[in-house]
Amino acid sequence: MLKEKIKIEEVDFVKKTFNKSLWKSLIIMPFILTFLLLPIYFLIFFIDLFLFHSRLDNLLSIYVISILGLVITNFLYGKIIINKRITNQKIYKITEEFTIQRKDNYTYTSDSASDSHYFRLYLINEKHQRKGIYICEEDYKKVKENEIITITYFETINISSRAVHNNQELEYAHFFTIKKWKL
């Protein structure tokens, strides 16, 4: 693993990519948090209703304001703190080798009957840290399990800048979130 501070030439690329994902999270995150925190809302609602025999008429308002507060706090943290770290070159660029543990592809058919094909690689490094990347179909056909891929990415923000397999750069390589997955 090679760890180096980002160069001044890379700062604009990293800030642009990070800010784009930050703005997307400002739109998507309220919906995700609404559904994730819904069980807590119902728990508080029913405890208040059955144990204290009161009705919180403003509980829904508190719930919505709390979610919006979390979203805005996350946005401001990214906009102020993380952008300052990027500008001051306190983010590291890491080049690391990963072994392909598993290949996976799936097709998603939307309501408009158009198909989207996704090609994923599940990777693991020598420290047993797991990452997953999306790649294009042509690269998917070239790679095999148990082969090595070298990925260059930016540490804190998890933006991949380059992926190499057999001395050939992959056209498209973007990280995806890995939950607990079985091999």
Domains for the chain: give ranges and CATH numbers: 7-87 (no CATH), 92-176 (2.40.50.660)
Total length of the chain: 183
Q: What is the pTM of this model?
A: 0.71
Q: 135: burial class by Cβ within 10 Å (0-12, 13-18, 19+)?
A: buried
Helices and strands, counts by H and E, the chain: 5, 8
Longest dimension (CA), the chain: 68
Of 93-97, 166-170, 172-176, which range is least confident? 172-176
* pLDDT band with cut points at 50, 70 and 90 for residue 162: confident
Q: How far apart are CA 15 and CA 5, in angstroms?
A: 15
Find out whether 18 and 156 touch, Cβ atoms under 8 Å. Answer: no
Contacts of 83 (CB under 8 A, 6+ apart): 15, 18, 19
Query: Stretch 120-146: mean pLDDT, rounded?
Result: 88
What mean pLDDT, rounded, does the chain reach? 86
